[in-house]
């Protein structure tokens, strides 16, 4: 077997500007990269190129497939893998949970910010055998701020929840929609470029009690700056006036992967609209719970929150 590794992402240093509940970290987390791709010894060079080609290519009915898993991506907390299942695979699981697979064997999996050090890919083959591949998920050093104040109560008034509940249900329902989008197969691009005012995973500890970690990345290019879709997808939510998110866009990229864009000053797409990578979808703003203009970009795979920086690399 021949393994091909991709170079690790570089560190991104930038000045920070005010953002909702953000404390600019002094250092960015170390980005650990674990990327591998395998070729079957019997494959011709043309077939090997097809197996390694850009995931955006058209699928074929009976591609040449290796006899074990091949994949590439970021094998670390908050990271992801795009892979190709072994020849004859009927289904794929990650730690026993079913993973959607295309007819030609492609799949996507990802790892939470607090993922433990190991996971297991498994494929049920047509002959009844099971092919497994253990994965080692590297830990990261998160930006943690310890403050000598008590954590605020997480409780909320009945009146506030009466307004918030339908918003929460709309977000939950949007993320559960299955659109058949294939943007998950693409290499993502930055929705907008600018200073980073909040990193994924940043967290405060209040007198020993941890608060919620920052679930996305904040980009502050200036008020009103247009932003674009980082990959193909379908708009599953486009609403204004949410209590926390302000004007909110959620795009389904398929395979359980979706992007959320918070605090925009303008929404330029509609629910149900198919969008292409690089298409203008809105403008940066400071709506909702925000103390300054910025775009909060969050990525989720099912219930797993991911680091957008691991999808796009340094600006």
Tens digits of residue pLDDT in 78-116: 999 999 999 999 999 999 999 999 999 999 999 999 999
* CATH code, domain with 211: 2.70.70.10
CB 255 within 8 A of CB 299: no
Q: Tokens 């909110």 correspond to what residue?
A: 248
CA max distance for the chain: 66
Residue 39 pLDDT grade (very low, low, confident, very high; cuts 50, 70, 90) = very low
Please indicate, yes or no, whether residues 54 and 166 belong to a single structural domain of this protein. no
CB 191 within 8 A of CB 261: yes
Separation in Å, CA 74 to CA 201, 254, 275, 301: 16, 19, 26, 14
Summarize the confidence of residues 295-313 as an average pLDDT.
Answer: 96
pLDDT tops 70 at residue 155 = no
Within-domain flag for 173: yes
Within-domain flag for 12: no
| Assigned token pair, 48 | 């090997």
Which of the 8 DSSP states describes residue 158? H
Please indicate, yes or no, whether residues 210 and 190 belong to a single structural domain of this protein. yes
Choose the final residue of a domain: 136, 161, 180.
Answer: 136
Please indicate, yes or no, whether residues 190 and 110 belong to a single structural domain of this protein. no
Within-domain flag for 21: no
Within-domain flag for 1: no
Tens digits of residue pLDDT in 161-214: 899 999 999 999 999 999 999 999 999 999 999 999 999 988 778 877 887 888
pLDDT recorded at residue 63: 53
pLDDT recorded at residue 205: 83
Residue 156 pLDDT grade (very low, low, confident, very high; cuts 50, 70, 90) = low
pLDDT tops 80 at residue 154 = no
Within-domain flag for 32: no
Please indicate, yes or no, whether residues 160 and 130 belong to a single structural domain of this protein. no
Which of 125-134, 210-219, 257-266, 274-283 has the weakest average pLDDT?
Answer: 210-219
Please give the model's pTM, rounded to 2 decimal places.
0.78
* CATH code, domain with 95: 2.60.40
Within-domain flag for 18: no
Percent of the chain residues topping a pLDDT of 90: 66
Separation in Å, CA 167 to CA 238, 246, 311: 12, 11, 28
Please indicate, yes or no, whether residues 89 and 106 belong to a single structural domain of this protein. yes
Round the average pLDDT of the chain to a whole number and report it: 82
Please indicate, yes or no, whether residues 269 and 169 belong to a single structural domain of this protein. yes
Summarize the confidence of residues 284-306 as an average pLDDT.
Answer: 96
Separation in Å, CA 129 to CA 1, 67, 90, 107, 235: 21, 12, 10, 19, 39
Please indicate, yes or no, whether residues 170 and 268 belong to a single structural domain of this protein. yes
pLDDT recorded at residue 5: 34
From the list 286, 283, 300, 258, the residue with the least C-alpha distance to 197 is 286
Tens digits of residue pLDDT in 217-246: 999 999 999 999 999 999 999 999 999 999
Collapsed DSSP state (helix, strand, coil) of residue 136: strand
Within-domain flag for 6: no
Please indicate, yes or no, whether residues 298 and 251 belong to a single structural domain of this protein. yes
Please indicate, yes or no, whether residues 65 and 201 belong to a single structural domain of this protein. no
Collapsed DSSP state (helix, strand, coil) of residue 105: coil
Q: Which residue has the higher pLDDT, 28 or 116?
A: 116
Separation in Å, CA 6 to CA 33, 36, 71, 73, 168: 8, 7, 11, 8, 39
Please indicate, yes or no, whether residues 205 and 221 belong to a single structural domain of this protein. yes
pLDDT tops 80 at residue 42 = no
Domain count, the chain: 2
Choose the final residue of a domain: 79, 110, 136.
Answer: 136
Please indicate, yes or no, whether residues 124 and 153 belong to a single structural domain of this protein. no
Q: Tell me the H-state helices in 158-282.
A: 158-175
CA 163 to CA 287: how far, in whole Å? 16
What is the domain range of residue 154? 144-312
Please indicate, yes or no, whether residues 53 and 163 belong to a single structural domain of this protein. no
pLDDT recorded at residue 225: 98
Choose the final residue of a domain: 112, 136, 160.
Answer: 136
Within-domain flag for 225: yes
């Amino acid at each position: 077997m021949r393994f091909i590794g991709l170079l690790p992402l570089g560190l991104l240093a930038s000045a920070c500007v005010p953002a909702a509940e953000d404390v600019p970290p002094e250092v960015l987390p170390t980005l650990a990269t674990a990327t591998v791709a395998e070729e079957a010894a019997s494959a011709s060079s043309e077939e090997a190129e097809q197996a390694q080609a850009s995931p955006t290519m058209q699928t074929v009915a009976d591609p040449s497939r290796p006899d074990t898993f091949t994949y590439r991506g970021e094998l670390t907390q908050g990271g992801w893998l795009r892979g190709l299942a072994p020849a004859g695979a009927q289904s794929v699981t990650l730690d026993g949970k079913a993973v959607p697979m295309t007819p030609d064997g492609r799949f996507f999996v990802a790892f939470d910010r607090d993922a433990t050090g190991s996971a297991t890919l498994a494929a049920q083959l047509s002959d009844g055998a099971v092919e497994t591949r253990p994965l080692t998920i590297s830990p990261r050093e998160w930006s943690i701020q310890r403050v000598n104040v008590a954590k605020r109560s997480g409780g909320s008034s009945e009146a506030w929840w009466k307004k918030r509940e339908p918003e929460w249900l709309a977000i939950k329902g949007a993320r559960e929609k299955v659109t058949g989008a294939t943007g998950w197969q693409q290499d993502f691009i930055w929705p907008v470029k600018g200073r980073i005012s909040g990193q994924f995973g940043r967290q405060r500890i209040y007198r020993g009690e941890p608060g919620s970690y920052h679930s996305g990345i904040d980009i502050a290019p200036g008020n009103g700056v247009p932003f674009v879709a980082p990959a193909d997808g379908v708009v599953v939510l486009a609403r204004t006036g949410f209590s926390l998110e302000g004007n909110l866009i959620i795009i389904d990229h398929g395979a359980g992967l979706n992007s959320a864009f918070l605090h925009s000053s303008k929404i330029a797409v509609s629910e149900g609209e198919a969008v292409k990578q690089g298409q203008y979808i809105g403008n940066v703003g400071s709506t909702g719970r925000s103390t300054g203009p910025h775009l909060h970009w969050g990525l989720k795979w099912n219930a797993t929150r991911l680091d957008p920086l691991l999808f796009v690399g340094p600006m």
